[in-house]
């Protein structure tokens, strides 16, 4: 059999028409049916592309020129947009971003989930899709003897020094850059990945959208921080909204941001914030949604899909610090939550107490181990809510859901691909997906969250 030859060659310059977008926002052009993925291209546009990589079934290119623009194209507001990579869609109008995300969800439900007639609603977007992130985790480096703090350049570990990020709340921008200056003035060096030396690895800030309070976390290579007391005093003096200064120590050669040891340097151990009427105590390492405005939209939809009357027993798999389960507990008879991270369960219990909720019970462990045990012990849920990580639900958990025959399943997902795969399994096990509501939690990026409702088919 003759070896297939790609219709293009590396470094060739070609004229193309973009037909579609990939799941990570790259334009898709085809030459004799051979797809070429090009960052920054939009469907309907015609442009000139330099081929940068040729593989057997597809290639990559770099956009040189656009000679027929899409009506959806706009000038990115961020001055370092083309370098940074933190956002992928600022060159698209916001309305076009929402349409793209809806299509992305519909396509994977059909292609992966084989779900033909599911009602996928229009994406619930933000009125003002800027300055929404309440948490910044910014790497620190050194250049020409001075500290720099900013995000990594695309596909590299080069730090782009920056003053502001347009999807971060302004308080985070201001305090990260101010802490960088304070650290530099007090003889703190930046961590060096190559030599595994230096002091400061990352600066993290958390902002309470409703309380206006800030937590500063200094992530360091060792427990010793030069001039620690002076740094604390200067942060307190310059930023009265800072209520908590925390140090996390990461001694390992790793790209993982946090180490195992966290200690309070000054102030309160927790930052407090609200989602809807529920108050949360958030520790330095807690998982807490970075867009609380849209989190409320997401959780209200999950609550709506649960159809609670006050008589139901609900299980919240992957419960984290209790964000969804406390929303559900407002209208359920009893909520059980499970989470593999012990610190998260400590936070969940604290948050239940903080809100005076006595109808929730949490357990540490793997959802796929704990929930079957509950089932064996006679705990049967009327509604199961899952909010798994990007890899989706464990197969044994999906089988337990099928065995338990709960009336409804509410699936909250941060990855449409694994959502589609898991819905397919649940459908084969006797459930029917009634509707899917995408929510735009991360404007200007390719990420989209979804809430899906499934009901048990009659006769199962």
Residues annotated as catalytic are 414
Which residues in 371-400 are b (16+ Cβ under 10 Å) and which e? bbebbeeeeebbbbbbbbeeebbbeebbbb
- The answer to whether the Cα torsion of 400, 401, 403, 406 is positive or negative is positive
Residues 154, 141: Cα–Cα separation, whole Å:
16
Residues 199, 149: Cα–Cα separation, whole Å:
14
Residues 72, 56: Cα–Cα separation, whole Å:
32
The 313-317 sheet, strands edge to edge: 119-120, 431-439, 449-456, 408-413, 383-386, 313-317, 334-339, 360-364
User: Are 300 and 324 a contacting pair, CB within 8 Å?
Assistant: no
Quote the DSSP letter at residue 151: P
Q: How far is CA 316 from CA 15, 31, 278, 386, 406, in A?
A: 51, 48, 17, 6, 13
The helix (run of H) or strand (run of E) holding residue 292 is: helix 292-306
Residues 395, 19: Cα–Cα separation, whole Å:
36
User: Are 441 and 298 a contacting pair, CB within 8 Å?
Assistant: yes
Vertex 403, ends 400 and 406: CA angle to 5°?
90
- The answer to whether the Cα torsion of 51, 52, 54, 55 is positive or negative is negative
Residues 303, 361: Cα–Cα separation, whole Å:
18
């Amino acid at each position: 059999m003759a070896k297939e030859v790609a219709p293009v060659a590396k470094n060739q310059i070609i004229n193309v028409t973009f037909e579609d977008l990939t799941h990570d926002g790259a334009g898709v052009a085809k030459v004799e049916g051979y797809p070429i993925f090009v960052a920054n291209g939009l469907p309907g546009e015609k442009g000139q592309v330099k081929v940068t990589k040729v593989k057997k079934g597809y290639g990559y290119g770099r956009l040189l020129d656009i000679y027929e623009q899409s009506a959806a194209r706009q000038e990115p507001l961020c001055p370092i947009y083309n370098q940074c990579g933190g956002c992928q869609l600022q060159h698209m109008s916001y309305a076009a971003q929402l349409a793209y995300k809806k299509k992305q969800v519909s396509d994977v439900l059909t292609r992966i989930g084989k779900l033909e007639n599911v009602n996928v609603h229009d994406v619930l977007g933000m009125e003002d899709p800027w300055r929404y992130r309440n948490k910044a985790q910014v790497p620190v480096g050194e250049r020409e003897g001075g500290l720099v703090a900013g995000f990594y350049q695309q596909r590299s570990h080069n730090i782009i020094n920056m003053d502001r990020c347009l999807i971060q709340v302004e308080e985070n921008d201001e305090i990260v850059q101010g802490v960088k200056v304070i650290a530099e003035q007090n003889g703190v060096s930046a961590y060096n990945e190559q030599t595994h030396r230096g002091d400061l690895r990352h600066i993290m800030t958390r902002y309470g959208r409703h309380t206006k309070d800030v937590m500063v976390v200094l992530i360091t290579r060792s427990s010793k921080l030069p001039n620690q007391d002076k740094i604390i005093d200067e942060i307190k003096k310059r930023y009265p909204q800072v209520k908590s200064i925390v140090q996390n120590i990461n001694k390992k050669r790793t790209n993982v941001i946090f180490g195992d040891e966290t200690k309070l340097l000054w102030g309160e151990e927790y930052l407090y914030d609200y989602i809807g009427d529920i108050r949360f105590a958030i520790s330095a390492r807690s998982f807490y949604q970075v867009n609380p405005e849209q989190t409320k939209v997401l959780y209200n939809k999950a609550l709506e899909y649960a159809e609670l009357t006050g008589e139901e027993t609900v299980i919240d798999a992957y419960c984290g610090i209790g964000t969804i389960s406390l929303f559900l507990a407002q209208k359920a008879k009893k909520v059980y939550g499970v989470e593999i991270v012990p610190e998260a369960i400590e936070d969940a219990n604290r948050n239940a107490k903080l809100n005076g909720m006595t109808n929730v019970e949490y357990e540490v462990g793997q959802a796929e181990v704990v929930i079957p045990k509950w089932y064996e012990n006679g705990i049967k849920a009327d509604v199961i809510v899952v909010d798994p990580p990007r890899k989706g639900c464990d197969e044994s958990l999906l089988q337990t859901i099928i065995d338990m025959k709960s009336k409804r399943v509410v699936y909250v997902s941060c990855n449409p691909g694994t959502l589609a795969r898991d819905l397919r399994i649940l459908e084969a096990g006797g459930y029917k997906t009634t509707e899917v509501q995408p929510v735009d939690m991360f404007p200007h990026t390719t990420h989209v969250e979804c809430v899906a409702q499934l009901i048990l088919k009659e006769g199962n």
